[in-house]
C-alpha cells in the first residue's frame, strides 16, 4: 500500500513563541524560518500579525524571504484577517489561519455579553455564523484557508461537527481540531477525529489537522492518534515549546513516524538530519532550555550511562538504540574554534550550524568571537549559538546597559553603580544590597525609578570550564504578567545586569503593545 504524506505545520514562531519566557526578535524569527525551510516543513505559521507591529513585520519579512507556505493567524474578525493577509501577501504560498472558540467553556468565557445571544444555544449559533462568515471573508484574499475550532478537545461533538461542516462549506481547505487545553486522552481524541470524519458530510473537501497541547504530557500521543484516525496535517513546534506545557514536539512526531514505519503507512518530508541544529537554534534564541532527558534532542537522549547498557552498545548498537544520533543530526565529534580561527573558519562553522550571515552580521560576529576567544581558549558550538542569539541579532533595545561597577567582599557592604542609556537619555544611580546582584538590581531600579519583583533567577554555564560563558535567565512580575530576560557574558554580574534590563525592556514593549491592541479593539468594535 502506498504511504500517505503527513503535512507538517510548524507553529514554533506563533504558538511556540507564546511559551512563557520565549520572545524572539524579527531577525531571530527569520533565521529560524530559514532553518525550518531547510528542514522541509510544509507550512510555517509565522505569527499573529494583528497582535503587534513587530509580529506583523516578522511575518512580512518571512513571507518575502522563505519559500514554503506561510500562514498568518487571525481571530474570526475582519480586522485580524485583513492584517494576516497584508502580512503574508508577498509569500509565494499563502495561508490565512482563522479560529473561533467552540467549547461551552470558551463560549461562556468569551461571548458572555448579551449581544452574542442570551442563551448558550443562541451564542453557539452566533459563533457558528461568525466562523462561516469569516472563512468566507478570508477566502476573498486567498484560496488556502485554515479554520480552527479552538478548544475542540472539550467541544460537544455534535456542535463541533456542525461548525466544521459550515467552515468547509464557506471554503476552508484545512480544518483544525485543537486540543487547546491538552485535556483529551489519545483514544478519546482519535475517536473524535474518526467521528468527525464520519459525521461531517463535506469532510472530504478539506484536510483534517491536529493541534495538541501537552498539559498532561500527551500531545505527541494525541497527534499520532489523530493521524491514525484520519488527520493528515500535524501542527507542532520545535522542542515542543508553546503555551503552558507546550505543543506536540515536531521532532518527536516526525521520529515516531520514521522509527515506526513498520507500523504506520504515513511519511513526512522532514530532513531529520537537520533536527538537532534547528532545535539548538530555537533554544538559544528563545532562551527556553531543553531538559536533558527530552526525547530526540535532549543532552542525554543518546547517552548510555550504566555499565550493562554501555557494554551492550559496544557489542551491538541495536541492543539499546532505536535510532542513531546521526539520524537526527547529532555529531559525534566536537568542533572547537579558538583565537587563531579566521573569519572564514567562523563563517563556515556558523553556516554548518544554520546561520545565514550577511557581511555586516559576519563582521559583528567575528568581532564578538575574537573578544570571546581572548577570554576563553576554546569556543564551542553552544558558545557560538549563544553569541548569535544574544549579540549578533540583538536589536536596539529601549534601555541599554552602558557601564556598571560592583564592590563586594565578605566584610564589605555590596554596592553597585550603573549607567543606563536610551537613544535620548542617560540614567545613573548607586545602591547597596544583600549581595552584588541584589545591589546591582537595586541600582538599576533606582536609576529607572521602577521596582519590579524578581520572580526567578537562574544562572548556568553554557559550556564547561572556568572561563565558560555564564547565562542568566530571570523573570520579573508586573501586575498579573511575567517578563523574562536573558543575558550572557563571561562575567556573571554583567550577564545579570543584561538579563534584568532585557526583562524590563520586555515589560516596556508589552505596555506599548497593550496600548496598540486597545486602540485596535476600539476600532474593531466600531466596525
Ligand atoms: O491551541 C489552540 O487552540 C490554538 C489555536 C489558535 C489553533 O493555538
Ligand atoms: Zn495552540
Pocket mutation for ligand 1, best pick of 18, 178, 182, 246 (most atoms within 8 Å of C-beta): 178
The span from the CA of 247 to the CA of 240, in Å, is: 5
The span from the CA of 434 to the CA of 449, in Å, is: 20
What spacing in Å lies between the alpha carbon of 74 and ligand 2's midpoint? Answer: 13
Within 8-119, where are the H helices? Answer: 26-39, 53-65, 78-88, 104-110
Per the structure block, which three cell numbers stand in for 122? 443562541
The answer to whether residues 313 and 447 belong to one domain is no
Which of 291-295, 307-311, 468-472, 484-488 is predicted with the least confidence, judged by mean pLDDT? Answer: 307-311
The answer to whether residues 353 and 231 belong to one domain is no
**Full-prediction pTM beyond 0.95?**
no
Atom of ligand 1 minimally distant from the CA of 18: 8
The answer to whether residues 321 and 382 belong to one domain is no
Last residue of a domain, which of 366, 392, 418? 392
pLDDT, position 527: 45
The span from the CA of 227 to the CA of 381, in Å, is: 36
pLDDT in tens, 193-243: 999 999 999 999 999 999 999 999 999 999 999 999 999 999 999 999 999
What spacing in Å lies between the alpha carbon of 152 and ligand 1's midpoint? Answer: 9
Pocket mutation for ligand 1, best pick of 148, 160, 181, 245 (most atoms within 8 Å of C-beta): 148
The answer to whether residues 159 and 234 belong to one domain is yes
The answer to whether residues 146 and 54 belong to one domain is yes
Distance of CA 404 to CAs 359, 422, 437, 494, Å? 31, 15, 12, 8
Within 316-452, where are the H helices? Answer: 343-352, 359-375, 381-387, 436-448
Residues 6+ positions from 517 with CB-CB distance below 8 Å: 51, 52
Give exposure, 116-140, as e/b (b: 16+ Cβ within 10 Å): bbeeeeebbebbbebbbebbebbbe
The span from the CA of 438 to the CA of 306, in Å, is: 42
Pocket mutation for ligand 1, best pick of 150, 153, 219, 247 (most atoms within 8 Å of C-beta): 150
Q: Which of 259, 498, 511, 484 is nearest to 394 (CA)?
A: 498
What is the phi/psi pair of residue 423, to 5°?
-60, -30
Pocket mutation for ligand 1, best pick of 101, 174, 211 (most atoms within 8 Å of C-beta): 211
Question: 97: number of CA atoms within 13 Å, CB side?
Answer: 28
Atom of ligand 1 minimally distant from the CA of 148: 7
Residue 396 has pLDDT above 80, yes or no: no
Confidence class of residue 450 from pLDDT cuts 50, 70 and 90? very high
User: What percent of the chain is modeled with pLDDT above 70?
Assistant: 95
Residue 279 has pLDDT above 50, yes or no: yes
For the chain, the average pLDDT equals: 92
The answer to whether residues 383 and 246 belong to one domain is no
| Residues 496/454, Cβ–Cβ less than 8 Å | no
Residue 308: enclosing H or E segment and its boundaries? helix 307-315
Q: Which of 141, 8, 133 is nearest to 69 (CA)?
A: 8
The answer to whether residues 177 and 61 belong to one domain is yes
Confidence class of residue 377 from pLDDT cuts 50, 70 and 90? confident
| Among protein residues, the one whose CA lies closest to atom 8 of ligand 1 | 15
The answer to whether residues 126 and 273 belong to one domain is yes
**Residue 520 is assigned to a structural domain of this protein:** no
**Residue 77 is assigned to a structural domain of this protein:** yes
Which of 150-154, 171-175, 316-320 is predicted with the least confidence, judged by mean pLDDT? Answer: 316-320
Question: Average of pLDDT values for 65-74?
Answer: 98
Residue 314 has pLDDT above 80, yes or no: no
| Among protein residues, the one whose CA lies closest to atom 2 of ligand 1 | 180
| Residues 238/250, Cβ–Cβ less than 8 Å | yes
The answer to whether residues 57 and 172 belong to one domain is yes
Protein residues placing their CB within 5 Å of the ion ligand 2? 15
E runs forming strands in 334-492 = 400-407, 415-421, 426-432, 453-461, 470-478, 481-489
pLDDT, position 524: 55
Q: Which of 51, 68, 503 is nearest to 287 (CA)?
A: 503
The answer to whether residues 496 and 358 belong to one domain is no
Which of 22-31, 223-232, 263-272 is predicted with the least confidence, judged by mean pLDDT? Answer: 22-31
**Residue 477 is assigned to a structural domain of this protein:** yes
Distance of CA 186 to CAs 4, 153, 216, 326, 451, Å? 21, 11, 11, 30, 46
What spacing in Å lies between the alpha carbon of 237 and ligand 2's midpoint? Answer: 10
| Among protein residues, the one whose CA lies closest to atom 7 of ligand 1 | 148
What spacing in Å lies between the alpha carbon of 469 and ligand 1's midpoint? Answer: 37
pLDDT, position 513: 72
Confidence class of residue 261 from pLDDT cuts 50, 70 and 90? very high
What spacing in Å lies between the alpha carbon of 150 and ligand 2's midpoint? Answer: 8
Q: Is the CB of 192 under 6 A from ligand 1?
A: no
**Residue 501 is assigned to a structural domain of this protein:** yes
As for how many domains the chain has, the answer is 4
**Residue 8 is assigned to a structural domain of this protein:** yes
Q: What is the CATH number of the domain that holds 224?
A: 3.20.20.70
What spacing in Å lies between the alpha carbon of 335 and ligand 2's midpoint? Answer: 37
**Residue 446 is assigned to a structural domain of this protein:** yes
Q: Is the CB of 15 under 6 A from ligand 1?
A: yes
What spacing in Å lies between the alpha carbon of 47 and ligand 2's midpoint? Answer: 12
**Residue 523 is assigned to a structural domain of this protein:** no
pLDDT, position 310: 67
pLDDT, position 189: 98
Max intra-chain CA distance, the chain: 78
Which of 248-257, 329-338, 406-415 is predicted with the least confidence, judged by mean pLDDT? Answer: 329-338
Q: Which has more pLDDT, 51 or 394?
A: 51
The answer to whether residues 349 and 459 belong to one domain is no
pLDDT, position 306: 66
What spacing in Å lies between the alpha carbon of 208 and ligand 1's midpoint? Answer: 14
Q: What is the CATH number of the domain that holds 457?
A: 3.30.160.270
Atom of ligand 1 minimally distant from the CA of 14: 8
The answer to whether residues 347 and 460 belong to one domain is no
The span from the CA of 509 to the CA of 474, in Å, is: 17
Q: Is the CB of 366 under 6 A from ligand 1?
A: no
Question: Average of pLDDT values for 454-474?
Answer: 87
Q: Which of 149, 191, 215, 207 is nearest to 9 (CA)?
A: 207
**Residue 467 is assigned to a structural domain of this protein:** yes
Structural domain boundaries enclosing 321: 302-330
pLDDT, position 31: 95
Amino acid at each position: 500500500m502506498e504511504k500517505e504524506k503527513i503535512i507538517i505545520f510548524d507553529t514554533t514562531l506563533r504558538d511556540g513563541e507564546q511559551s512563557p519566557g520565549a520572545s524572539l526578535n524579527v531577525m531571530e524569527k527569520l533565521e529560524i524560518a530559514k532553518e525550518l525551510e531547510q528542514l522541509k516543513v510544509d507550512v510555517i505559521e509565522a505569527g499573529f500579525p494583528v497582535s503587534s507591529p513587530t509580529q506583523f513585520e516578522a511575518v512580512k519579512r518571512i513571507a518575502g524571504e522563505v519559500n514554503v507556505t506561510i500562514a498568518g493567524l487571525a481571530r474570526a474578525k475582519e480586522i485580524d484577517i485583513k492584517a494576516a493577509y497584508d502580512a503574508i501577501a508577498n509569500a509565494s504560498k499563502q495561508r490565512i489561519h482563522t479560529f473561533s472558540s467552540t467549547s461551552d467553556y470558551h463560549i461562556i468565557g468569551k461571548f458572555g455579553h448579551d449581544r452574542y445571544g442570551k442563551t448558550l444555544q443562541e451564542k453557539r449559533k452566533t459563533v457558528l455564523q461568525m466562523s462561516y462568515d469569516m472563512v468566507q471573508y478570508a477566502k476573498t484574499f486567498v484560496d488556502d484557508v485554515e479554520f480552527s475550532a479552538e478548544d475542540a478537545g472539550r467541544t460537544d461533538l455534535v456542535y463541533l461537527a456542525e461548525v466544521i461542516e459550515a467552515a468547509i462549506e464557506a471554503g476552508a481547505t484545512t480544518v483544525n481540531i485543537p486540543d487547546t487545553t491538552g485535556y483529551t486522552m489519545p483514544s478519546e481524541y482519535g475517536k473524535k477525529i474518526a467521528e468527525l470524519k464520519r459525521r461531517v458530510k463535506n469532510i472530504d473537501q478539506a484536510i483534517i489537522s491536529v493541534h495538541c497541547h501537552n498539559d498532561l504530557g500527551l500531545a505527541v500521543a494525541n497527534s499520532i492518534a489523530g493521524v491514525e484516525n484520519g488527520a493528515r496535517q500535524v501542527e507542532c513546534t520545535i522542542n515542543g515549546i508553546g503555551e503552558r506545557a507546550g505543543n506536540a514536539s515536531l521532532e518527536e512526531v516526525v521520529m515516531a513516524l520514521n522509527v515506526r514505519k513498520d507500523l504506520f503507512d504515513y511519511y513526512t518530508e522532514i530532513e531529520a538530519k537537520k533536527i538537532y541544529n534547528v532545535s539548538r537554534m530555537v533554544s538559544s534564541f528563545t532562551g527556553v532550555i531543553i531538559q536533558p532527558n527530552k526525547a530526540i534532542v535532549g543532552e542525554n537522549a543518546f547517552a548510555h550511562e550504566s555499565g550493562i547498557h554501555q557494554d551492550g552498545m559496544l557489542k551491538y548498537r541495536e541492543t539499546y538504540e532505536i535510532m542513531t544520533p546521526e539520524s537526527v543530526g547529532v555529531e559525534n565529534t566536537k568542533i572547537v574554534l579558538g583565537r587563531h580561527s579566521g573569519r572564514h573558519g567562523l563563517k563556515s562553522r556558523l553556516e554548518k550550524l544554520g546561520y545565514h550571515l550577511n557581511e555586516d552580521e559576519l563582521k559583528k560576529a567575528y568581532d564578538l568571537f575574537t573578544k570571546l576567544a581572548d577570554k576563553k581558549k576554546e569556543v564551542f558550538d553552544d558558545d557560538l549559538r549563544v553569541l548569535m542569539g544574544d549579540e549578533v541579532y540583538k536589536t536596539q533595545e529601549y534601555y541599554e546597559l552602558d557601564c556598571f561597577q560592583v564592590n563586594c567582599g565578605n566584610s564589605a557592604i555590596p554596592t553597585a553603580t550603573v549607567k543606563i542609556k536610551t537613544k535620548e537619555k542617560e540614567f545613573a544611580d548607586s545602591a547597596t544590597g544583600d549581595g552584588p546582584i541584589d545591589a546591582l538590581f537595586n541600582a538599576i531600579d533606582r536609576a529607572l525609578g521602577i521596582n519590579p519583583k524578581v520572580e526567578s533567577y537562574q544562572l548556568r554555564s553554557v559550556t564547561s570550564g572556568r572561563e565558560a560563558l555564564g547565562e542568566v535567565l530571570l523573570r520579573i512580575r508586573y501586575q498579573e504578567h511575567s517578563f523574562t530576560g536573558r543575558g550572557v557574558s563571561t562575567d556573571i554580574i554583567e550577564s545579570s545586569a543584561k538579563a534584568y534590563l532585557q526583562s524590563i525592556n520586555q515589560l516596556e514593549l508589552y505596555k506599548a503593545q497593550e496600548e496598540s491592541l486597545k486602540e485596535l479593539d476600539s476600532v474593531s468594535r466600531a466596525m
